Structure 1
């Protein structure tokens, strides 16, 4: 089995990654970090560059977790990319970081977290970044 972490390089993403590591270690399973973005090139601010990917991989190694980083970048919604990765590996858990958004922001931009929670076939754990 595997733990999936939806990751972007911000405090919510870091909180999700840290909790994903805890969960993977607890159950002695692999961790797959999914950096979902709408674009396959670096124009998407959430898309990790090569150095950032290496940094996350090094962090996983130092944490003692077997894992990999997937950067899927496509026209698909980020939620769909996370859900597809979870289905591909038979994930036992999806971990996502949350941040405060206004109701208008949620309405205009949609909610990746909401879609993952509603459509995932495994449990979803949402964590807040510490301030």
Structure 2
């Protein structure tokens, strides 16, 4: 079993990573750090540079957690593909970061986090940046 973290290079992504590392320590499980980009996209602000992903894996290693980074491209729906990964690695927990969005923004753009929360077939830990909910 493993802990799966959806990581993007944002404060919410950093909070998710910190919480994922803490959970992996507690459960003595591998940490799978997922950072994905839409297939064929030339620019995607959610894609973390290699050095940032290496630092994320190093943070886990320094905490005594075995970690691996995967960057699968997604074609259709990010939430569905993320949940497929959680099933493939037999995740005991999914960790995602949340950011504040207006009601109009949620209505127009949808929310990957909301989809993951509603559709996951395993526990989901949702954390906010600066919320004091992770080390």
TM-score by length of structure 2 reads: 0.90
Q: How far off its partner does 1:75 sit?
A: 1.7
Query: How many matched pairs?
Result: 131
How much is the aligned-residue C-alpha RMSD, in angstroms?
Answer: 1.5
CA distance in 1, matches of 2:22, 2:42: 30
1:45 alignment partner in structure 2: 45
1:65 alignment partner in structure 2: 65
Q: How far off its partner does 1:42 sit?
A: 5.6
CA distance in 1, matches of 2:73, 2:30: 22
CA distance in 2, matches of 1:77, 1:10: 21
Q: How far off its partner does 1:12 sit?
A: 0.3
2:103 alignment partner in structure 1: 103
CA distance in 2, matches of 1:122, 1:74: 21
CA distance in 2, matches of 1:88, 1:121: 12
* Contact persistence 1:40–1:74 (CA under 8 A): no
Q: Which deviates more, 85-94 or 73-82?
A: 73-82
* Contact persistence 1:3–1:93 (CA under 8 A): yes
1:12 alignment partner in structure 2: 12
* Contact persistence 1:41–1:73 (CA under 8 A): no
- Name stretches of at least 5 consecutive residues in structure 1 with no aligned partner: none
Deviation beyond 2 Å, 4+ runs, structure 1: 39-42
1:31 alignment partner in structure 2: 31
- Name stretches of at least 5 consecutive residues in structure 2 with no aligned partner: none
